[in-house]
Amino acid sequence: MQICFLIVTSIAILLANSIKLRATTTRPAFADGHGPGSQVCPMCCQGPAGTPGIPGLPGNQGQYGPAGLKGNAGVKGQKGEIGPTAPVGNPGPKGDDGIGLPGKVGPRGPPGLVGAIGESGVKGEKGDAGETSKNSAQRRAFTVRRITDSDTSTSHTTHLPFDEVETLLPGTSFNLATGTFTCNMPGTYVFTFSVNKEPSFHLWVHLRKNNDAVISGGSNDSGSYEQVSGSAVLDLQQGDSVYLTMSGRANSGSPYHYTSFSGFLLYSE
């Protein structure tokens, strides 16, 4: 708004000066011909300088010129030579050994008390050799087998009997008719069994401690012979019994003995 006001003011001043100049150049001439109007203003004559106009507004910024060409890369200087290695200096002379003053000797301690010497004791006689435990030298083991062709049962609590002893160490208690081992030496025992099943029958075999079934094995395959087996490690006390019960049909025979039962003492208490 201020710029517009200045422009209008300048135009008004210029118009006033123009009107004033025109009035001066058209003034009438005197009668004697000597007045100012009788003289013609030469071309070189000019009126007084007008008031300078207000500077114009800045023009728009011109366009940027095209980018100059990229200068050539400078030449890389050569690598300087490696300077000579400085010589190793000679070791300096060894310093003198320091002289220290010896420390003071401490006071001597009082002598210790001499204890009384006791009388020598009488050497005792050599004791008698101890008795070796009978149980530690004894062992327990058995293997029994069947020579009967077959045995059939419909109850899972039926004892599986045996006919023949293969191994029975002295002191081992086994009843062939009931197939029962009775513990007379407490300890840890290992038992295994293997019983053959005839075709067209099922067979279930249970290893029992007293009246409890410890492990069981069985087969329902009626199309072929099957071997049912198992093993267990048992801690037994005096009077415990271990035996097999069966349900189904067990097969055996001689000379191959497909059905057997074994046990042995691992270690005693």
pLDDT in tens, 88-133: 767 767 766 656 555 666 677 666 554 444 455 455 565 554 444 4
Q: What are the phi and psi torsion angles at 240 (to 5°)?
A: -65, 145
Grade residue 145 by pLDDT with cuts at 50, 70 and 90: very high
Tokens of 253: 């025979």
Tokens of 176: 């062939």
* Residue 188 to residue 206: CA distance in whole angstroms: 20
* Residue 69 to residue 85: CA distance in whole angstroms: 47
What is the maximum span of the chain, computed from C-alpha positions, in angstroms?
A: 191
Q: Is the pLDDT of residue 191 over 80?
A: yes
Identify which of 227, 245, 240, 236 has the alpha carbon closest to the alpha carbon of residue 179.
Answer: 245
Q: What are the phi and psi torsion angles at 36 (to 5°)?
A: -65, -30
The structure tokens 């109850």 sit at 155
Identify which of 168, 150, 170, 169 has the alpha carbon closest to the alpha carbon of residue 160.
Answer: 150
The structure tokens 């200045």 sit at 6
At residue 23, the pLDDT reads 47
* Residue 155 to residue 257: CA distance in whole angstroms: 24
* Residue 194 to residue 209: CA distance in whole angstroms: 17
Q: Which helix (H) or strand (E) holds 252?
A: none
At residue 178, the pLDDT reads 95
239-253 mean pLDDT: 92
10-34 mean pLDDT: 56
Q: Is the pLDDT of residue 5 over 60?
A: yes
Grade residue 168 by pLDDT with cuts at 50, 70 and 90: very high
* Residue 117 to residue 228: CA distance in whole angstroms: 79
At residue 48, the pLDDT reads 77
Q: Is the pLDDT of residue 157 over 70?
A: yes
Grade residue 218 by pLDDT with cuts at 50, 70 and 90: very high
Helix (H, G, I), strand (E, B) or coil at 261: strand
Q: Is the pLDDT of residue 3 over 70?
A: no
Grade residue 263 by pLDDT with cuts at 50, 70 and 90: very high
pTM, rounded to two decimals:
0.49
At residue 268, the pLDDT reads 93
Better-predicted residue by pLDDT, 73 or 101: 73
Q: Is the pLDDT of residue 229 over 90?
A: yes
Cis peptide before 91 (omega within 30 of 0): no
Which string of DSSP letters, residue by residue, matches 122-171?
Answer: PPPPPPPPPPPPHHHH---EEEEE--SSEEEEEEEEEE----EEEEE-TT
Between β-strands 150-159 and 203-209, what pairing exists: parallel, antiparallel or unpaired?
A: unpaired
Grade residue 198 by pLDDT with cuts at 50, 70 and 90: confident
* Residue 179 to residue 146: CA distance in whole angstroms: 10
Q: Is the pLDDT of residue 147 over 50?
A: yes
